[in-house]
Structure 1
Amino acid sequence: MTTVSDFVIERIRQWGVSRVFGFPGDGIGAFDGALGKAERDGDGLKYIRPTHEEICSLMATAYAKFTGEVGVCIATSSPGAFHMLNGLYDAKMDNQPVVAIIGQQGLPSLGTFTQQESNLERTLEDVAVYVQTIVSPKQAQAVVDTAFRTARVRLGPAVIILPHDVQGMDMEELTPENWVSRSSAVAPSISIVPPESEIMKAAAIINAGSKVTFLVGHGSNGATDEVLEAARLAGAGLITALRAKQVVPSDVPHHSQQLGLLGTRPSMHQMNDCDTLVLLGTNYPYGQFLPPSGQARAIQVDLKPEQMGLRYPTELNIWGDVKATLTALIPHLEAKTDLSWQENVAKEMVEWEHEMEAEAMLNYADGVNPRRVYLELNKRLPPQAIVTADAGSTADWYGHHIRLRRGMMGDLSGRLASMLAAMPYAVAAKFAHPERSVICTIGDGAFQMLGMNELITIKKYMQEWDNPQLIIMVLHNNDLTQVSWEMRTEDANPVWETSQDVESIDYAGWAELLGFQGIRVKKDDEVAAAWDAAFAHRGITLIDAYTSRNVPPLPPHITLEFAKNTGEALLKKDPFEVGVIRDSAEALVAEGIERVKGKLHIGQDKDRPQSPDKGDG
């Protein structure tokens, strides 16, 4: 007889899922037993078991990002469910379809305060786009189908709660019956095309603009050709949100990469001067970097209607899929003959890239320049590479120095910006694309959270990957660096070593203990050779880069508040005052020299639109 668990497993397969990320426990025990039986029978799901439930949900989210499929994670009742919350919020805040299957104590125990029994629906209702407990075999089909369908359409995590006794109940054949839903395992299309009248309005706005900028988000994934063609016709400059690096290839000259603190000066200048702003599949959250109200006519295209017109007073909001919408829009766009706006973005990017390289080549007295580590990585990225970054300073250097070419992928925990996500993201990327080289860039603070544990997961599963090359690069500076800088620049406080210091560990030694290649980098002139050795090794490599904690993640425009707060923090006896002042001064000088060189070489300020640039060093 087929049990509810048997049915749910088969239904998951019918939804196109072949791999799940889970951690066992008695609350999900009968379901786990059914998973084992299905595996032995040769028709089960590939079950990946990392070292923690939080890793399971982060892996499911990353798997959805790297494949476009629904990610699935499985955990036991209360403690397992609570551990998965962080990864589920990552899915929610980055709009990823994930289904979580969570155990629960038996139905008679609900509301009786027994061990590991809690109100999971109430706990999970904030994070989930759909959450439901299966209380009867006749309900199982509808709940599973609704969870997958809702996750796909509403782009977020759905949760199925499966009590232990229900897991083992006999599954009934569904017949026409009152209160019983007979559902289908058919995914709805989200390729939504807006009405022709809305397309014509959008075309008229773009055609009327002379300084058009596209701000491209991860919601444009899969629409690279359409974005490039629309930008060509509109003479538009291109800016990508941090999670959308892979959407627009880095060798497109008028792609100025990111905007804001992790962004570029050309992107800032685009925002200062554009007369038309088109937001494509992005919920870019930093409104202070967008144009003043009324400067630009604005259009937003998105599948999340509740997030449209939220950051900037848009003139037109289009509820639609970016690829389908642009496909309909392109025939109505008039090709611009004056491409000076677009050409100026390209000229400024040449200057900016010279500045970034100059800063990366500086030598510091207190450790390797972290910018150098990323610059040399970027030079060596193989075709189809996947790069992950963590929340913190790794995101700064990823934004400033990593340039993804067509076919490459990269991602991180975006709106949630959760620490430690770089490791489960990298491992999930290897499961999603086992033939590709994957590079995880992570700070020592995040690596100590749960990242070190995941080397064990890698050891367990690496033999399954066609190409076992996975490189983990740890920025080893014994500091929670991003927060240290935020203490200075946002709150005018000196670094508090009690909270910020990270205990130094021999990370390369830990990798070697597990049989991997470990490389220690303690000098700037060792960086290039370390990456060469890592990419030459067909296996797992950990690069332990002993970097400076004082290198400033300088924004493209230094505001008065940024400078004032940093100065006040240093006056309050910041323990690293000398290093911060020295390293910041060197970076600013290098940036200024390259800017002067760039202007002399490129020809001059008269070639670019003038915009306020006070405080740029």
Structure 2
Amino acid sequence: MAKTVAQVMVDQLVNWGVKQVFGVVGDGIFHLLDALAHQPKIHFYAVRHEETAALMASAYAKLTGQVAVCTATSGPGLVHLLNGLADAQKDGVPVVAITGQVARKDMGTRKKQYIDQQTLVQPLVSYSTLLVDPQATVKLMDRAFRSALSKRMAAHLCVPLDVFPLPCLEEIRPPEPYLFTETRSNLQVVKEAAKIFDQAQKPVILAGAGARKAVQPLRELAEKWGAGVIHTLGGMGVFPGDHPLALGGLGHAGSSSAEAILKQADVCFRVGVNWWPEDYIPQNITVIELDHEPANIGGSSPADYGLAGKAENLLPEITSFIQPAERKDWSKILHKGHLDWHLQVQREANGKDPRVPPAKIVQSLGEVVAAEAVICLDTGDHTIWFGRNFIPQEQRILLSGKWRTMGFGLPAALAAKIAEPNRQVTALVGDGGMGMLLADFTTAVKYNLPVMIVVVNNGGLIEEKNRMMVGNLIPHGVYLHNPDFAAFAKACGGEGFTVENADELRAAFLDALHCGKPAIVDVRSGDPMIPGTKMN
């Protein structure tokens, strides 16, 4: 007996190595869910909101580098996925979204929940199509998978609800490992780059998330080259913050010493970076860029020389070709910059506030989380305080990098714990972002995902308030009416802790991390203005 379209789709997902599907039940995907229920290799995580499902898929892909899958029904189900698909597009990660559609006879009519899905998703995906012939199931799934993987963004497959149960005679495609073939600059290109490295008198390295698997090679290069290391927000943890060459982050969510030193540098080596804030960059600096995707080199701003390949493979070659050099004056400047960054962290953490200073929350979090923890950041005022004040070890930071959506932190924490259940997972979220997808804390309880969610509860959208005030505007609509987040956590079956002064932070964090349940730490935070705040 022939398998159905839904069963063949699930078999193909299994063959790709997919282990999880995130979604919300709806009548457009009943047969797909039934097919998932009849096999043991893929776990379906039923969440409370489709936006959570898509953000979980995006975060899962960011953490693992693998194609992640989310699903939803027709109409509003797909619409709710869009925010997560946009996040995947902006941050360049592979996601496949499978959605139901009304029956074929109802397409193009006024049938409830019908919408032209391909037109709706077109700006956000690399590929979107409608499956109307059962014998095209594997072909179209293969195109979606290849597109998501090669273009590093979401792909979309839409299936009418009356197509899912039809028989499909197509054979499953076997794994195709050549799809993961690395592009790599040859040795001559690397040797030419080494000549530029050797000419530098004041070198710096800007390390992003693309250097994640090259922690030791990056350290060895920095030490031999005598370069200060600045990290992006997503690149935190690729270089230890206690190393004397570490200078902190760049930009508003960074250190003033990193900004000052970059303006003095003559050569900057960008490693796995897709962000280049022009306000902080000197005009005459020589830029060498390394990225695993050749098209990304020079994408954020022009590069003088490019190296294509994975950082973990190319950095040892670069290090072997460059010549060690003594730059005593530059070393002194870098050492002072490192100390100044740490002094900035202490100064901001000790700020006077009747409530808990946000910088103190970040500092205390850094003292208790595991060196290899995953920290999921939501978007808001707390994100900037984190970038300025967290001294990284080897933690992995997940965030909505270029889409900057609120509501990312909780879904990302759920996805991270599913992907790596033996790894400590924490989310740092604002009260605004937490309120957006608050119901999915019950998902953490339902699936026994012991994550710690730290809510910076300052009673409003404080980044927006402060920026409006700087622009001499009335901060209308920025204040929030929040629930008792700790009580909410307990009502859901998790644990909840409330912190009202800074002395309680450490104990509350440790209790939450070791309680064995999903936990919310509700920190009643102050709302000081971040130094350097501008309206735009």
Q: TM-score range by the shorter chain?
A: over 0.9
**2:428 aligned with 1:438, yes or no?**
no
Residue deviations 1:388-435 (CA, integer Å, cap 9, x gap): 1111112112112222313x2221111111101011111111111112
**2:287 aligned with 1:298, yes or no?**
yes
Q: CA deviation at 1:20?
A: 1.2
Question: How many Å separate the matches in 2 of 1:426 and 1:236?
Answer: 34
AA aligned opposite 1:435: N
Alignment of 1:165-314 (within 5 A): 165-173=162-170, 184-187=174-177, 188-292=179-283, 295-314=284-303
1:285–1:28: structure 2 CA closer, same or farther, 3 Å change rule? farther
Residue deviations 1:126-185 (CA, integer Å, cap 9, x gap): 1112222222222221221222222222211111222222211111146xxxxxxx9553
**2:396 aligned with 1:409, yes or no?**
yes
Q: CA deviation at 1:225?
A: 2.2
AA aligned opposite 2:184: V
Alignment of 1:346-361 (within 5 A): 346-361=335-350
Q: Residue in 1 aligned with 2:13?
A: 12
**8 Å contact kept, 1:220–1:323:** yes
Question: How many Å separate the matches in 2 of 1:373 and 1:146?
Answer: 46
TM-score relative to the length of structure 2? 0.94
SS in 2 for 1:515: coil
**2:374 aligned with 1:377, yes or no?**
no
Question: How many Å separate the matches in 2 of 1:374 and 1:283?
Answer: 25
Q: Residue in 2 aligned with 1:486?
A: 467
Q: CA deviation at 1:44?
A: 4.1
Q: CA deviation at 1:90?
A: 0.7
**2:138 aligned with 1:148, yes or no?**
no
**8 Å contact kept, 1:190–1:321:** no
**8 Å contact kept, 1:412–1:422:** yes
Stretch of structure 1 that moved more, 417-426 or 317-326: 317-326
Question: How many Å separate the matches in 1 of 2:186 and 2:110?
Answer: 53
Q: CA deviation at 1:357?
A: 1.3
Q: CA deviation at 1:285?
A: 4.6
Q: Residue in 1 aligned with 2:456?
A: 475
1:211–1:459: structure 2 CA closer, same or farther, 3 Å change rule? same
Q: Which residue, out of 376, 400, 406, partners 1:388?
A: 376
SS in 2 for 1:336: coil
Q: Residue in 2 aligned with 1:535?
A: 513
**8 Å contact kept, 1:192–1:325:** no
Q: Residue in 2 aligned with 1:108?
A: 105
1:130–1:226: structure 2 CA closer, same or farther, 3 Å change rule? farther
Q: Residue in 2 aligned with 1:315?
A: 304
Q: Residue in 1 aligned with 2:123?
A: 126
Question: How many Å separate the matches in 2 of 1:401 and 1:241?
Answer: 13
1:233–1:132: structure 2 CA closer, same or farther, 3 Å change rule? farther
**8 Å contact kept, 1:100–1:158:** yes
Stretch of structure 1 that moved more, 231-240 or 82-91: 231-240
**8 Å contact kept, 1:368–1:546:** yes
Residue deviations 1:310-340 (CA, integer Å, cap 9, x gap): 4433212334333333344333222223354
Stretch of structure 1 that moved more, 410-419 or 353-362: 353-362
Q: Residue in 2 aligned with 1:179?
A: none
Question: How many Å separate the matches in 1 of 2:33 and 2:109?
Answer: 25
Question: How many Å separate the matches in 2 of 1:234 and 1:109?
Answer: 65
1:306–1:494: structure 2 CA closer, same or farther, 3 Å change rule? farther
Q: Residue in 1 aligned with 2:496?
A: 518
Question: How many Å separate the matches in 2 of 1:327 and 1:8?
Answer: 42
Question: How many Å separate the matches in 2 of 1:232 and 1:117?
Answer: 59
**8 Å contact kept, 1:363–1:524:** no
Question: How many Å separate the matches in 1 of 2:301 and 2:397?
Answer: 27
AA aligned opposite 2:531: L
Q: Residue in 2 aligned with 1:588?
A: none
AA aligned opposite 2:311: V
**2:529 aligned with 1:552, yes or no?**
yes
AA aligned opposite 1:438: V
Alignment of 1:552-591 (within 5 A): 552-555=529-532, 562=534
SS in 1 for 2:307: strand
Q: Residue in 2 aligned with 1:507?
A: 485
**8 Å contact kept, 2:257–2:340:** no
Residue deviations 1:79-125 (CA, integer Å, cap 9, x gap): 11111011011111111111111111223333234222221112112
**8 Å contact kept, 1:153–1:190:** no
AA aligned opposite 1:255: A
Q: Residue in 1 aligned with 2:444?
A: 458
SS in 2 for 1:423: helix
AA aligned opposite 1:441: L
Alignment of 1:419-430 (within 5 A): 419-430=406-417
Question: How many Å separate the matches in 2 of 1:24 and 1:431?
Answer: 19
**8 Å contact kept, 2:88–2:153:** yes
**8 Å contact kept, 1:390–1:421:** yes
1:340–1:153: structure 2 CA closer, same or farther, 3 Å change rule? farther
**8 Å contact kept, 1:232–1:335:** no
Alignment of 1:312-351 (within 5 A): 312-338=301-327, 340-351=329-340
SS in 2 for 1:374: helix
Q: Which residue, out of 34, 54, 59, partners 2:56?
A: 59
Question: How many Å separate the matches in 2 of 1:352 and 1:527?
Answer: 23
**What is the aligned-residue RMSD (CA, Å)?**
2.1
**8 Å contact kept, 1:484–1:495:** yes
Q: Residue in 2 aligned with 1:495?
A: 475
Stretch of structure 1 that moved more, 414-423 or 367-376: 367-376
**8 Å contact kept, 2:258–2:337:** no
AA aligned opposite 1:447: M
Question: How many Å separate the matches in 1 of 2:104 and 2:163?
Answer: 8
SS in 2 for 1:132: strand
Q: Which residue, out of 390, 399, 403, partners 2:387?
A: 399
**8 Å contact kept, 1:444–1:475:** yes
AA aligned opposite 2:38: K
**8 Å contact kept, 2:375–2:397:** yes
- Structure 1 portions without partners, runs of 5+: 175-181, 567-617
Question: How many Å separate the matches in 1 of 2:190 and 2:416?
Answer: 36
1:535–1:30: structure 2 CA closer, same or farther, 3 Å change rule? closer
Question: How many Å separate the matches in 1 of 2:58 and 2:136?
Answer: 27
Residue deviations 1:178-201 (CA, integer Å, cap 9, x gap): xxxx95531412421023343233
SS in 2 for 1:160: strand
1:457–1:332: structure 2 CA closer, same or farther, 3 Å change rule? same
Q: Residue in 1 aligned with 2:154?
A: 157
Question: How many Å separate the matches in 1 of 2:497 and 2:489?
Answer: 9
Question: How many Å separate the matches in 1 of 2:42 and 2:343?
Answer: 49
Q: Residue in 2 aligned with 1:569?
A: none
SS in 2 for 1:233: helix
Residue deviations 1:234-260 (CA, integer Å, cap 9, x gap): 221111110111222223221222100
AA aligned opposite 1:91: A
Q: Residue in 2 aligned with 1:87?
A: 84
SS in 1 for 2:93: coil
Question: How many Å separate the matches in 2 of 1:31 and 1:545?
Answer: 42
1:290–1:311: structure 2 CA closer, same or farther, 3 Å change rule? farther
- Structure 2 portions without partners, runs of 5+: none
SS in 1 for 2:30: helix
